[in-house]
């Protein structure tokens, strides 16, 4: 097995033996259970005239609630990815664990890519697994399925990967959990930057709107999150949003359009840049 894959395997092994993963799985199952029960309620509530809600209204409410639930999932995923990636390299440099590994014919780039791959696989599995469970639960409870479930998984997974990449880059230089904390703060700032951009859209102020654009360019997590929202919006709801004009666009929990293709291309470049920077940073680090 090439060294990159050996390191990736080792990363998967180590991370999956952590309590964090077990806790995450248990929590996810609990949330899925509760949300199935909660969503079921929507179909049984009665309106003022005593009848249950019409299917279109159930779908609308469900889609909105699902966005909020998914926001929580993406937050948990981003948080975990950052917290695990933050010390991924620095802790092994400090403990001396990497000394004996790097004295083998192993390139530093192979260590970085291997760790990225290993953790990336876990992020992807979690994103796909939790989305599948949640969507299945919602489908069972209400019969509603978001219009683009695959894209939803891709966007949420990519958001986790983005935080993982940032955390890993910081971990080539910063000690312990510091990198993870900084990555988390950056993620929150990115979200706020997006909201500020929305405000700019609402006020039709180009300068303020640009804040959102720049923050999406620097850290595309919020952009990816909006992609996830778009994937969860039924057509009827989109039509309402579009009809509302600028007001419809100035909402951090709604997306009128999918992320533009050039932006998505930039995200791919961004991932490449983060990895290249991490490799360069680790190569020039003395251990």
Partner 1 sequence: MTDVIEQVAAAPQGAAAGSPAIQTVNLSKRFGRTSALAGLSMTVPRGEVFGFLGPNGAGKTTSVKLLLGLLKPTSGEAWLLGRPIGDLQTRRRIGYLPELFRYQGWLSAREVLALHCELAPLPRSSWKDEITSALDTVGLTDRAGDRVSTFSKGMQQRLGLAAALLGEPELVFLDEPTSALDPVGRHDVREIIRGLASRGTAVFLNSHLLSEVEQVCDRVAVVDHGRVIASGTMDELLSGTAVKVRVTGLDDAEKARLASFGNIDDEGDQLTFTNLKPDRVPELVAEIVGLGGNVFEVSPRHQTLEDRFLQLLEEEEK
Q: Which residues bind partner 1 (CB under 8 A)?
A: 1, 3, 6, 10, 13-14, 17, 95-97, 99-108, 280, 283-284, 286-287
Name the minimum Å distance from CB 281 to partner 1.
10
Kindly tell me which of 3 and 202 has the beta carbon lying closer to partner 1: 3
Q: What is the DSSP annotation of 76-138?
A: HHHHHHHHHHTTTTHHHHHHTHHHHHHTSS--HHHHHHHHHHHHHHHHHHHHHHHHHHHHHHH
Distance of closest approach, residue 89 Cβ to partner 1, in angstroms: 14
> For residue 116, how many other CB atoms are within 10 A of its CB?
26
Tokens of 233: 């919006």
117 exposed, middle or buried (CB, 10 Å; 0-12, 13-18, 19+)?
middle
Alpha-helical segments (H) within the chain? 3-16, 19-44, 55-85, 90-95, 97-102, 108-142, 149-171, 178-203, 206-218, 221-232, 235-244, 246-249, 261-283
Smallest separation, CB 175 to partner 1 (Å): 15
For partner 1, give the closer residue by CB, 16 or 240.
16
Q: How many other CB atoms sit within 10 Å of the CB of residue 260?
A: 10
Q: Which is nearer to partner 1, 84 or 219 (CB)?
A: 84
Would you say 63 or 278 has its CB closer to partner 1?
Answer: 278
Residue placing its CB nearer to partner 1 in the complex, 5 or 217: 5
Q: Residue 204: which region, alpha, beta or left (left: phi > 0; alpha: psi -120 to 50)?
A: left
Give 6 or 264: the residue with its C-beta nearer to partner 1: 6
Identify the three-state secondary structure at position 219.
Answer: coil
Report in angstroms how near the CB of residue 7 gets to partner 1 at its nearest: 9
Structure tokens at 134: 């949640």
As measured in angstroms, the least distance from the Cβ of 202 to partner 1 is 45
Q: Smallest gap, in angstroms, from Cβ of residue 104 to partner 1? A: 4
* Smallest gap from residue 255 Cβ to partner 1 (A): 41
Phi-psi region of 110 (alpha: psi -120 to 50; beta: other; left: phi over 0): alpha
- Indicate the residue among 107 and 249 with the shorter CB distance to partner 1: 107
């Amino acid at each position: 097995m090439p060294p990159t894959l050996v390191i990736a395997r080792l990363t998967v092994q180590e991370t999956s033996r952590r309590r964090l993963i077990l806790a995450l799985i248990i929590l996810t199952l609990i949330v899925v259970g509760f949300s199935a029960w909660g969503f079921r309620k929507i179909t049984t509530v009665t309106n003022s005239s005593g009848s249950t809600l019409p299917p279109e209204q159930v779908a609308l409410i469900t889609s909105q609630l699902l966005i909020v639930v998914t926001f929580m999932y993406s937050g948990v995923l981003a948080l975990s990815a950052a917290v695990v990636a933050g010390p991924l390299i620095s802790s092994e440099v400090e403990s001396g664990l990497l000394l004996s590994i790097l004295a083998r014919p192993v390139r530093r780039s192979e260590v970085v890519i291997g760790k990225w791959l290993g953790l990336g696989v876990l992020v992807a599995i979690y994103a796909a697994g939790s989305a599948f469970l949640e969507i299945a639960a919602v489908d069972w409870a209400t019969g509603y399925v978001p219009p683009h479930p695959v894209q939803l998984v891709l966007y949420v997974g990519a958001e986790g990967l983005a935080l993982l990449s940032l955390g890993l880059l910081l971990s080539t230089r910063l000690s312990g959990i510091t990198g993870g904390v900084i990555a988390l703060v950056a993620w929150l700032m990115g979200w706020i930057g997006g909201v500020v951009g929305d405000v700019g859209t609402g006020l039709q102020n180009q300068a303020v709107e640009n804040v959102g654009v720049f923050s999406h360019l620097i850290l595309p997590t919020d952009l990816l999150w909006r992609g996830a929202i778009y994937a969860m919006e039924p057509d009827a709801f989109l039509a309402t949003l579009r009809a509302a004009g600028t007001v419809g666009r100035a909402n951090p929990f709604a997306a009128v359009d999918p992320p533009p293709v050039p932006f998505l291309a930039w995200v791919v470049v961004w991932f490449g840049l983060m990895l290249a920077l991490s490799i360069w940073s680790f190569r020039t680090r003395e251990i």
